[in-house]
Amino acid sequence: MLRSVRGLPVVLVLSGLLLAPVPPVGAVSPALPLEALYDNASTADLDGTGAALPAADLAAAGWAPGRELTVRGARLTWPRRPPGTPDNVRADGQTVRLTGPGDALVFLATATGGTEAGGTGSVMYADGSRSSYRLTVPDWRTGPLATKALSLPHVATPAGLLLAERARLYAVTVPLVRGLEVASVRLPVAPRLHVFALAVRNGSAGWTGSWATATSALPVAGPWTDRTLRLVVHTSTGGPRVRLRFANTFGPAPVRIAAATVAVRAEGAAARTAPVPLSFRGARGVEVPAGAQAISDPLAFAVPEDADLLVSFHLPGTVTSVPWHGRAMQRSYVSEPGDHTADTDPAAYTGTIRTWPLLTGVDVGGGPGSVVLLGDSITDGDGSTPDANRRWPDALAARLRRQDAVPRYGVLNAGISSNRVVSDRYSGEGFSPVGGGVSAVHRLDLDVLAQTSVRTLVVFEGINDVRSGITAVEVTAGLREIAERARAHGVRVLAATLLPCGGSSDYTAAMEAERAAVNAWIRHSGVFDGVLDFERALRDPASPGRLLPAYDSGDRLHPGDAGYAALAEAVQLTLL
């Protein structure tokens, strides 16, 4: 609750952020739209040496002047400025006019000078209260590719040459006080920090996430020319309206979707009734720029809980690579040439895939919010029966539907097979056959904090880290960072202990010691809002370093169907 002291507004401090005192109100400059503050031309001289972002590369990525982009769940507009004219502001304490309620600010920004740049800014709310935030943005030429929103293939030189060097732009989120209306934002004093766009993220109001998946890599795909993909996804909760989320994460170029539909599945690729067309800002199709998302318009469509949906979308051009989730544990379908999005009959769908390209979420109208499960192959469902929805997130959703003690939250699966807490299996750039994704630390914003209506995070990973030689100290530092960042955004955080894996490939006594150390820290650190002791639920009492045989899929590492059901039963639902 907000209170005032002697008529003065209280300054709010957001948990988990490094804060500095907010300057007196009199020291704040007049609030102006961001575009009125532009003082640097990124396509002419971004860094003061004449190096720049190539305008042609931006256009090729779909980031044309004035283009509205959905990035990290927020709608941002790439500056409506001709190439060579000011299109960003060097942060120097300016006050930006920005209004609306939401859960986070999203900055589209980059830094110059060879290192990250940042500082402390503040948010003024309509009720007169203020909060501080800390913004840090990586460098445009040396920052991590794993967390970038967009990378361009060249850096332009003062002589007009193009260097074969990646230029990076970042979308960085900072939390807001939920329920309050933003009135303005004061930028940090950090002149090497360049802000191109700024928005309040408020995409979750009135929606609950029912199904989601995490993009794991950018592999060579198809090639598909003039094909329709019909993906099978399983809902956790239902609602009277639906919207779909597509993401071109890691993509170097736009992807065109000419048409899309949704239907309840009968069996195979057959729809129970005629598929219903989706629209995108009133249009039948949409182009998804590199690094951005597309969210369909709300559609009056009764989404059943615990049901298979068919999401069909037509790719009219030739697709040779596309961002996807690599291990779906679910058969989906590829059509013969043509737009078959409206087909009820499955005859045109002669090909099959076991991945989820482009599609990242299904939201339903209303509902109590969602729980996001961040994990590796055990959350992804490796070892469960394919096409049967027997992953532990599915079993947890089933438990929630069978009870009335707590709300029936949506359950969103953000597991990626082979994923690690602190080490990237995929660099975040270029084509890769490795589907292990960027690290949990690097994908937290995208796969958890930007999810629809997230209220609770369950983090259940680290076994791939210790199996690869990463120490318990490093893993627990990463888990602590995840917890602190999520809680700063108002998200509850639960942690699950790592399962025993004695007898699995690459198992060693040294690895077992690190696993035990991680589990001891999870149980006793006090960092989390609750602990799920999955190790105790699935270990063999006669040999505690191993899975109980009845729960083992056969590889001594991944549970089978019975083990996944036991994980879900071990969750104390009131912690969610």
Rounded distance between C-alpha atoms, residue 60 and residue 54, angstroms: 10
User: What pLDDT score was predicted for residue 221?
Assistant: 85
Domain check: are 115 and 46 in the same one?
yes
Domain check: are 197 and 319 in the same one?
no
User: What pLDDT score was predicted for residue 27?
Assistant: 53
Domain check: are 15 and 146 in the same one?
yes
Last residue of a domain, one of 361, 388, 411: 361
Range of the domain at 332: 218-361
CA neighbours closer than 13 Å in the CB half-sphere of residue 429: 16
Last residue of a domain, one of 323, 342, 361: 361
Domain check: are 123 and 245 in the same one?
no
Q: Tell me whether strands 454-460 and 370-375 are parallel, antiparallel or unpaired.
A: parallel
Q: Is the pLDDT of residue 3 over 50?
A: no
pLDDT interval class at 205 (50, 70, 90): confident
Q: Is the pLDDT of residue 419 over 50?
A: yes
User: What pLDDT score was predicted for residue 17?
Assistant: 39
In a domain, 315, yes or no: yes
In a domain, 212, yes or no: no
- Domain at 547, CATH number: 3.40.50.1110
Torsion angle, alpha carbons of 553, 554, 558, 560, to 10: 0
Rounded distance between C-alpha atoms, residue 195 and residue 177, angstroms: 22
| Number of other residues whose CB lies within 10 A of the CB of residue 350 | 11
User: What pLDDT score was predicted for residue 261?
Assistant: 98
Closest CA to 33 of 138, 185, 168, 209: 185
pLDDT interval class at 28 (50, 70, 90): low
Rounded distance between C-alpha atoms, residue 59 and residue 67, angstroms: 10
Q: Is the pLDDT of residue 15 over 50?
A: no
What Cα–Cα distance (Å) separates residue 511 from each residue in 39, 357, 456, 470, 508? 53, 35, 30, 9, 5
Domain check: are 342 and 417 in the same one?
no
User: What pLDDT score was predicted for residue 109?
Assistant: 98
Domain check: are 319 and 406 in the same one?
no
User: What pLDDT score was predicted for residue 38?
Assistant: 98
Mean pLDDT of 20-38: 71
User: What pLDDT score was predicted for residue 331?
Assistant: 98
In a domain, 211, yes or no: no
**Over pLDDT 90: what percentage of the chain?**
92
Q: Is the pLDDT of residue 268 over 80?
A: yes
In a domain, 269, yes or no: yes
Under 8 Å between Cβ of 274 and 340? no
Domain check: are 379 and 351 in the same one?
no
Mean pLDDT of 475-497: 97
Last residue of a domain, one of 175, 201, 227: 201
User: What pLDDT score was predicted for residue 6?
Assistant: 26
In a domain, 206, yes or no: no
Rounded distance between C-alpha atoms, residue 436 and residue 447, angstroms: 14
Closest CA to 437 of 380, 521, 368: 380
Cβ contacts of residue 524 below 8 Å, gap of 6+?
none
Give the DSSP H or E segment for 466. helix 463-467
Domain check: are 121 and 258 in the same one?
no
Tokens 């400025």 sit on residue: 81
Tens-place pLDDT, residues 220-248: 888 999 999 999 999 999 999 999 999 99
What Cα–Cα distance (Å) separates residue 337 from each residue in 224, 317, 358, 511? 9, 11, 19, 50
DSSP symbols for 201-238: E-TTTTEEEEEE----B--EEEEEEEEEEEEEEE-SS-
Domain check: are 54 and 168 in the same one?
yes
Among the listed ranges 275-284, 359-368, 431-440, 527-536, which one has the minimum average pLDDT value?
A: 431-440
Tokens 């270990």 sit on residue: 539
In a domain, 386, yes or no: yes
In a domain, 208, yes or no: no
In a domain, 405, yes or no: yes
Tens-place pLDDT, residues 294-310: 999 999 999 999 999 99
Domain check: are 283 and 255 in the same one?
yes
User: What pLDDT score was predicted for residue 29?
Assistant: 77
User: What pLDDT score was predicted for residue 573?
Assistant: 98
Domain check: are 397 and 334 in the same one?
no
User: What pLDDT score was predicted for residue 244?
Assistant: 98
Mean pLDDT of 12-22: 36
Residue 289's φ and ψ, nearest 5 degrees, are: -60, 160
Q: Is the pLDDT of residue 13 over 50?
A: no
- Looking only at Cα atoms, what is the longest distance across the chain? 73
**Over pLDDT 70: what percentage of the chain?**
95
Tokens 């369950």 sit on residue: 458
How is residue 4 written in tokens? 């005032």
pLDDT interval class at 433 (50, 70, 90): confident
Domain check: are 176 and 66 in the same one?
yes
Q: Is the pLDDT of residue 4 over 80?
A: no
Q: Report, in this order, helix, strand and coil percent for the chain, each rounded to 5.
A: 15, 40, 45
Rounded distance between C-alpha atoms, residue 382 and residue 464, angstroms: 14
Structurally, how many domains does the chain consist of?
3
